[in-house]
Amino acid sequence: MAPSPGQGYRNGVRSGRLKTAEGFVEYSAPQVAGRNEPFRSEIREHLKGRTEALEDLAVELLARGLSVRDIEDAFRDETRRLILSKTAVSEIGERLWADYQEFATRDLGEYEIAYLFVDGIAERIRPGQKREPVLAAWGFTASGAKVLLHLMAGSKEDAETVSAFFQDMRGRGLGDPLLVVCDGAAGIIKAIETCFPCSERQRCLAHRMRNLAAKVPEDRWPEFKARATAAYQARSRAIARDLAAGLVKD
Protein backbone atom coordinates (compact mmCIF):
# COMPACT_ATOMS: atom_id res chain seq x y z
CA MET A 1 0.00 0.00 0.00
CA ALA A 2 1.38 3.44 -0.87
CA PRO A 3 1.91 5.84 2.08
CA SER A 4 -0.27 8.89 2.47
CA PRO A 5 1.29 12.14 1.21
CA GLY A 6 3.67 13.63 3.79
CA GLN A 7 3.81 10.51 6.01
CA GLY A 8 7.00 9.17 4.50
CA TYR A 9 8.38 5.65 4.34
CA ARG A 10 11.48 3.83 5.55
CA ASN A 11 14.39 3.79 3.18
CA GLY A 12 17.17 1.87 4.92
CA VAL A 13 19.17 2.92 7.97
CA ARG A 14 22.11 5.14 8.74
CA SER A 15 24.66 4.70 11.50
CA GLY A 16 26.06 7.30 13.86
CA ARG A 17 27.59 7.99 17.26
CA LEU A 18 25.82 9.72 20.14
CA LYS A 19 27.65 11.28 23.08
CA THR A 20 25.93 10.25 26.32
CA ALA A 21 26.75 10.14 30.02
CA GLU A 22 28.11 6.64 29.42
CA GLY A 23 30.39 7.81 26.64
CA PHE A 24 29.86 7.48 22.89
CA VAL A 25 27.17 5.03 21.81
CA GLU A 26 26.95 3.58 18.31
CA TYR A 27 23.44 3.55 16.85
CA SER A 28 21.49 2.86 13.68
CA ALA A 29 18.61 5.18 12.83
CA PRO A 30 15.96 4.64 10.16
CA GLN A 31 16.17 6.78 7.07
CA VAL A 32 12.78 8.16 6.15
CA ALA A 33 11.89 9.42 2.68
CA GLY A 34 8.80 11.14 1.37
CA ARG A 35 8.37 13.56 4.30
CA ASN A 36 8.18 17.34 4.22
CA GLU A 37 10.59 17.56 7.17
CA PRO A 38 13.54 15.31 8.08
CA PHE A 39 12.96 12.57 10.64
CA ARG A 40 14.33 13.31 14.12
CA SER A 41 14.54 10.71 16.88
CA GLU A 42 12.99 11.87 20.15
CA ILE A 43 14.97 9.18 21.98
CA ARG A 44 18.28 10.57 20.77
CA GLU A 45 17.29 14.14 21.69
CA HIS A 46 16.23 12.97 25.17
CA LEU A 47 19.54 11.20 25.80
CA LYS A 48 21.48 14.18 24.49
CA GLY A 49 19.55 16.55 26.76
CA ARG A 50 20.22 14.45 29.85
CA THR A 51 23.93 14.33 29.01
CA GLU A 52 24.16 18.10 28.56
CA ALA A 53 22.45 18.66 31.92
CA LEU A 54 24.93 16.33 33.66
CA GLU A 55 27.87 18.01 31.94
CA ASP A 56 26.63 21.46 32.94
CA LEU A 57 26.44 20.27 36.56
CA ALA A 58 29.94 18.79 36.34
CA VAL A 59 31.28 22.10 34.98
CA GLU A 60 29.67 23.93 37.92
CA LEU A 61 31.29 21.49 40.39
CA LEU A 62 34.69 21.89 38.75
CA ALA A 63 34.32 25.67 38.86
CA ARG A 64 33.59 25.43 42.60
CA GLY A 65 36.88 23.62 43.15
CA LEU A 66 35.91 19.94 43.30
CA SER A 67 38.44 17.49 41.86
CA VAL A 68 37.70 15.01 39.09
CA ARG A 69 37.65 12.21 41.69
CA ASP A 70 35.16 14.17 43.84
CA ILE A 71 32.86 14.55 40.84
CA GLU A 72 33.15 10.86 39.93
CA ASP A 73 32.05 9.99 43.47
CA ALA A 74 29.12 12.41 43.21
CA PHE A 75 27.97 10.97 39.87
CA ARG A 76 27.24 7.43 41.05
CA ASP A 77 23.83 5.85 41.43
CA GLU A 78 22.62 3.70 44.32
CA THR A 79 24.57 0.71 42.95
CA ARG A 80 27.79 2.79 42.82
CA ARG A 81 27.67 2.72 39.01
CA LEU A 82 29.05 5.81 37.30
CA ILE A 83 26.33 7.80 35.54
CA LEU A 84 28.93 10.09 33.96
CA SER A 85 32.01 8.30 32.67
CA LYS A 86 35.52 9.08 33.93
CA THR A 87 36.51 10.03 30.41
CA ALA A 88 33.61 12.48 30.18
CA VAL A 89 34.56 14.15 33.49
CA SER A 90 38.20 14.48 32.42
CA GLU A 91 37.16 15.92 29.05
CA ILE A 92 34.95 18.48 30.81
CA GLY A 93 37.87 19.57 33.00
CA GLU A 94 40.10 19.96 29.95
CA ARG A 95 37.38 21.89 28.12
CA LEU A 96 36.83 24.20 31.11
CA TRP A 97 40.56 24.96 31.30
CA ALA A 98 40.65 25.60 27.54
CA ASP A 99 37.69 28.00 27.93
CA TYR A 100 39.56 29.88 30.65
CA GLN A 101 42.72 30.09 28.54
CA GLU A 102 40.66 31.50 25.68
CA PHE A 103 39.10 34.05 28.07
CA ALA A 104 42.49 35.05 29.52
CA THR A 105 44.12 35.60 26.12
CA ARG A 106 41.25 37.00 24.04
CA ASP A 107 41.53 40.26 22.12
CA LEU A 108 40.14 43.20 24.12
CA GLY A 109 40.47 45.66 21.26
CA GLU A 110 36.89 44.95 20.19
CA TYR A 111 35.55 46.62 23.35
CA GLU A 112 35.25 50.40 23.54
CA ILE A 113 35.55 50.65 27.32
CA ALA A 114 34.26 53.90 28.79
CA TYR A 115 34.43 52.98 32.50
CA LEU A 116 36.85 50.50 34.08
CA PHE A 117 36.22 49.12 37.58
CA VAL A 118 39.08 47.38 39.40
CA ASP A 119 38.92 45.70 42.79
CA GLY A 120 40.43 42.90 44.81
CA ILE A 121 37.82 40.39 45.96
CA ALA A 122 38.01 37.28 48.14
CA GLU A 123 36.60 34.03 46.76
CA ARG A 124 36.50 30.55 48.25
CA ILE A 125 38.06 28.67 45.35
CA ARG A 126 37.85 25.26 47.07
CA PRO A 127 35.10 24.14 49.49
CA GLY A 128 36.09 24.23 53.15
CA GLN A 129 39.16 26.39 52.57
CA LYS A 130 39.80 30.05 53.32
CA ARG A 131 38.86 32.68 50.79
CA GLU A 132 41.66 33.64 48.44
CA PRO A 133 42.34 37.05 46.86
CA VAL A 134 41.30 37.57 43.25
CA LEU A 135 41.90 40.77 41.31
CA ALA A 136 38.98 41.53 38.98
CA ALA A 137 38.48 44.09 36.19
CA TRP A 138 35.02 44.94 34.83
CA GLY A 139 34.37 47.32 31.98
CA PHE A 140 31.33 49.23 30.78
CA THR A 141 31.29 49.94 27.05
CA ALA A 142 30.14 53.13 25.38
CA SER A 143 26.83 51.37 24.68
CA GLY A 144 26.35 50.42 28.35
CA ALA A 145 27.26 46.72 28.11
CA LYS A 146 29.05 45.17 31.11
CA VAL A 147 32.10 43.04 30.30
CA LEU A 148 34.31 40.94 32.58
CA LEU A 149 37.75 41.79 31.19
CA HIS A 150 40.30 40.03 33.36
CA LEU A 151 40.87 37.97 36.53
CA MET A 152 44.04 37.19 38.45
CA ALA A 153 43.93 34.67 41.29
CA GLY A 154 46.20 34.91 44.31
CA SER A 155 47.13 38.49 43.54
CA LYS A 156 48.17 41.26 45.91
CA GLU A 157 47.12 44.88 45.56
CA ASP A 158 50.67 46.23 45.39
CA ALA A 159 51.61 48.57 42.53
CA GLU A 160 53.88 46.07 40.75
CA THR A 161 51.29 43.26 40.69
CA VAL A 162 48.41 45.52 39.63
CA SER A 163 50.57 47.18 36.94
CA ALA A 164 51.32 43.74 35.46
CA PHE A 165 47.58 43.01 35.57
CA PHE A 166 46.85 46.22 33.65
CA GLN A 167 49.69 45.72 31.16
CA ASP A 168 48.32 42.29 30.30
CA MET A 169 45.03 43.91 29.28
CA ARG A 170 46.84 46.73 27.46
CA GLY A 171 48.86 44.15 25.53
CA ARG A 172 45.62 42.54 24.39
CA GLY A 173 44.25 45.77 22.98
CA LEU A 174 42.51 47.55 25.87
CA GLY A 175 42.42 51.29 25.16
CA ASP A 176 42.24 54.24 27.52
CA PRO A 177 38.91 54.34 29.38
CA LEU A 178 37.40 57.69 30.21
CA LEU A 179 37.27 56.78 33.89
CA VAL A 180 38.91 54.17 36.13
CA VAL A 181 37.19 53.42 39.45
CA CYS A 182 38.90 51.73 42.40
CA ASP A 183 39.01 51.66 46.19
CA GLY A 184 41.60 53.54 48.25
CA ALA A 185 44.39 50.94 47.99
CA ALA A 186 47.62 52.84 47.36
CA GLY A 187 49.05 50.15 45.06
CA ILE A 188 46.03 50.16 42.77
CA ILE A 189 45.97 53.98 42.63
CA LYS A 190 49.66 54.14 41.69
CA ALA A 191 49.22 51.45 39.01
CA ILE A 192 46.26 53.32 37.49
CA GLU A 193 48.24 56.57 37.33
CA THR A 194 51.12 54.72 35.64
CA CYS A 195 49.19 52.55 33.19
CA PHE A 196 46.24 54.85 32.40
CA PRO A 197 47.73 58.37 32.51
CA CYS A 198 45.08 59.71 30.09
CA SER A 199 42.12 58.43 32.15
CA GLU A 200 40.35 60.12 35.04
CA ARG A 201 40.38 58.23 38.35
CA GLN A 202 37.53 58.09 40.84
CA ARG A 203 37.16 56.60 44.31
CA CYS A 204 34.48 53.90 44.41
CA LEU A 205 31.35 55.22 46.13
CA ALA A 206 30.51 51.80 47.62
CA HIS A 207 33.93 51.58 49.30
CA ARG A 208 33.72 55.20 50.44
CA MET A 209 30.29 54.64 51.99
CA ARG A 210 31.50 51.55 53.85
CA ASN A 211 34.39 53.56 55.29
CA LEU A 212 32.04 56.35 56.38
CA ALA A 213 29.47 53.94 57.86
CA ALA A 214 32.20 52.54 60.14
CA LYS A 215 32.84 56.03 61.57
CA VAL A 216 29.35 57.55 61.88
CA PRO A 217 26.99 56.67 64.80
CA GLU A 218 24.29 54.27 63.66
CA ASP A 219 21.40 56.60 64.56
CA ARG A 220 22.90 59.43 62.47
CA TRP A 221 23.83 57.27 59.47
CA PRO A 222 20.59 57.56 57.39
CA GLU A 223 20.77 61.36 57.31
CA PHE A 224 24.53 61.36 56.81
CA LYS A 225 24.29 58.85 53.95
CA ALA A 226 21.61 60.88 52.17
CA ARG A 227 23.67 64.08 52.38
CA ALA A 228 26.91 62.36 51.34
CA THR A 229 25.16 60.78 48.36
CA ALA A 230 23.67 64.13 47.37
CA ALA A 231 27.16 65.67 47.33
CA TYR A 232 28.54 62.77 45.30
CA GLN A 233 25.75 62.98 42.73
CA ALA A 234 25.57 66.79 42.52
CA ARG A 235 25.03 68.32 39.07
CA SER A 236 28.23 70.37 39.23
CA ARG A 237 31.54 70.39 41.05
CA ALA A 238 30.73 73.71 42.74
CA ILE A 239 27.45 72.38 44.16
CA ALA A 240 29.21 69.19 45.27
CA ARG A 241 31.85 71.19 47.16
CA ASP A 242 29.21 73.34 48.90
CA LEU A 243 27.21 70.28 49.97
CA ALA A 244 30.33 68.50 51.19
CA ALA A 245 31.54 71.57 53.10
CA GLY A 246 28.14 71.87 54.83
CA LEU A 247 28.19 68.21 55.80
CA VAL A 248 31.71 68.44 57.23
CA LYS A 249 30.83 71.62 59.14
CA ASP A 250 27.68 70.09 60.68
Instruction: Give the pLDDT confidence of 157-185 residue by residue, as tens digits.
Output: 889 999 999 999 999 999 999 999 999 88
Instruction: Give the pLDDT confidence of 8-34 residue by residue, as tens digits.
Output: 666 677 777 665 555 566 767 777 776
Q: Which domain holds residue 34?
A: 9-103
Residue type, 211: N
Write down the pLDDT at residue 78. Answer: 60
Write down the pLDDT at residue 75. Answer: 67
Full-model pTM: 0.64
Residue type, 155: S
Whether 1 is in a domain gets the answer no
Whether 4 is in a domain gets the answer no
Give the span between the Cα atoms of 19 and 218, in whole angstroms.
Answer: 59
CA distances from 57 to 45, 60, 100, 124 (A): 19, 5, 17, 19
Whether 3 is in a domain gets the answer no
Domain harbouring 158, CATH code:
3.30.420.10
Write down the pLDDT at residue 12. Answer: 72
Q: Is the same domain home to 211 and 199? A: no
Total domains, the chain: 3
Whether 19 is in a domain gets the answer yes
User: Do 100 and 86 meet the contact criterion of CB atoms below 8 Å apart?
Assistant: no
Give the span between the Cα atoms of 36 and 173, in whole angstroms.
Answer: 50
Q: Is the same domain home to 195 and 151? A: yes
End residue of a domain, out of 203, 223, 239: 203
Nearest to 168 by CA among 96, 118, 235: 118
Q: Is the same domain home to 153 and 233? A: no
Write down the pLDDT at residue 15. Answer: 75
